[in-house]
Amino acid sequence: MLPLEHWQALEHWQALEHWLALRGWRALESWLALRGWRALGCWQAPRDSQALQDWLAAVC
């Protein structure tokens, strides 16, 4: 049995992926370009969805 937090994380990713699919990566990249990755505590932006997921998993 997976802990509740794990299920919440899975649901969070599904919602995030759905949002990104609707809005597209350009909107996210535009937001990040305006604010910069430093605000998120990262010096270099991942270039694809898997890299972003790996980065978020490492940070969160």
Give the chain's domain count: 1
Residues found in the chain: 60
Q: Which residues contact 19 (CB under 8 A, 6 or more apart)?
A: none
pLDDT at 16: 78
Q: Which two tokens stand for residue 40?
A: 């998120």
Q: pLDDT per residue over 1-60, tens digit each?
A: 667 777 677 787 778 777 777 777 777 777 777 676 555 655 455 556 777 777 777 776
pLDDT at 46: 54
17 phi and psi angles, rounded to 5 deg: -65, -35
Q: Which residues contact 32 (CB under 8 A, 6 or more apart)?
A: 40, 45
Q: How much is the pTM?
A: 0.24
> Among all chains, which residue has been given the structure tokens 């910069």?
36
- What domain range is 24 assigned to? 4-59
pLDDT at 38: 56
